[in-house]
A and B are shown apart, each in its own frame.
Chain A
Amino acid sequence: DSGVTQTPKHLITATGQRVTLRCSPRSGDLSVYWYQQSLDQGLQFLIQYYNGEERAKGNILERFSAQQFPDLHSELNLSSLELGDSALYFCASSEGDRASAEKLFFGSGTQLSVL
């Protein structure tokens, strides 16, 4: 168990809808990262928050947004969903703000299916 909690584990929704994925980092970790894993694209970095502030941005669509709350949990909001958004979404956390120098701890992911 990595200590990173993601909910829900599975999410099935329809095109055009909006969903929220939730992540609780390991105790003491200040950074939260969101990754999207699909069969054709592999693991793609979406966004990072550090202590409530956006720290780095990757290939995140404008329809997607995220935030980190004062208690350090994070939410990833996906709107106007399309079939191609179906993927496994991972949250990871680390103690500091540098993924490259820190060990990332990944949650078990949220499997999103857009029908």
Chain B
Amino acid sequence: QQQVKQSPQSLIVQKGGISIINCAYENTAFDYFPWYQQFPGKGPALLIAIRPDVSEKKEGRFTISFNKSAKQFSLHIMDSQPGDSATYFCAATRVTGGGNKLTFGTGTQLKVEL
């Protein structure tokens, strides 16, 4: 069962534009939502994460927006650069109670064109 749905599957953005990737989750017990970035030939690397007690978290050009009532969260990449071209995965898990398992979305291939 797909508990984290991610869209779009692929995205092409012009340099300097805003990239937006959306995720929706089903399990209301989830309370930790990280985003991972994966370059070709490499493993995923943690980019930014948010807990549901805040609606937004910003780190540099990367921002997570979180809507608890809608069970949705999104990654915004401002001033997108060619070096941001990678696959992005959202994920979710439950911290309370000792969660160990990250449930990942299916990934979004981002290409930033000059």
Which one of B42, B89, B95, B104 contacts A100 once the chains associate, using CB atoms below 8 Å?
Answer: B95
- In residues 83-114 of chain B, which contact A (Cβ within 8 Å)? 89, 93-95, 98-107
Task: Evaluate whether A98 and B99 lie within 8 angstroms (CB atoms) in the complex, with A42-B106, A42-B107 already known.
Answer: yes
Interface status of A18 (Cβ within 8 A of chain B) = no
- Which residues of chain B have C-beta atoms less than 8 A from A58's C-beta? 101
User: Which among B41, B101, B107 has the greatest number of chain A C-beta atoms within 10 A?
Assistant: B101
The interface size of chain B toward A, counting residues with CB under 8 Å, comes to 21
Q: Which of A61-69, A70-78, A79-87, A101-109 forms contacts with chain B?
A: A101-109
Within 8 A of A (CB), among B55-93: 89, 93
Contact B89 A56 (CB under 8 A): no
Tell whether A115 is near chain B: CB-to-CB under 8 Å: no
A109 touches B107 (CB 8 A): no
A99 at the interface (CB under 8 A from B): yes
A2–B45 Cα distance when bound, in Å, is 8
- Kindly list chain A residues whose C-beta atoms are within 8 Å of the C-beta of B93: 99-100
Q: Which residues of B contact A107 (CB under 8 A)?
A: 43
- Give every chain B residue within 8 A of A90 (Cβ-Cβ): 43-44
Known: A42-B89, A42-B107, A43-B89. A100 touches B102 (CB 8 A): yes
As a 0/1 sequence over residues 1 to 43 of chain A, the CB contacts with chain B under 8 angstroms (1 = contact) are 0101000000000000000000000000000000000000111
- In the complex, 21 of the A-B residue pairs with CB atoms within 8 angstroms, ordered by the A residue number, are A2-B43, A42-B105, A42-B106, A43-B44, A43-B107, A45-B101, A45-B103, A56-B100, A56-B101, A97-B100, A98-B95, A98-B98, A99-B99, A100-B95, A100-B99, A104-B44, A106-B42, A106-B44, A108-B41, A108-B42, A108-B43
Residues of A that sit less than 8 Å from B by CB: 2, 4, 41-45, 48, 55-56, 58, 90, 92, 97-101, 103-109
**Residues of B participating in the A interface, judged by any CB pair closer than 8 Å:** 32, 41-46, 89, 93-95, 98-107
Closest 4 CB pairs of A and B: A106-B43, A56-B100, A100-B93, A43-B104
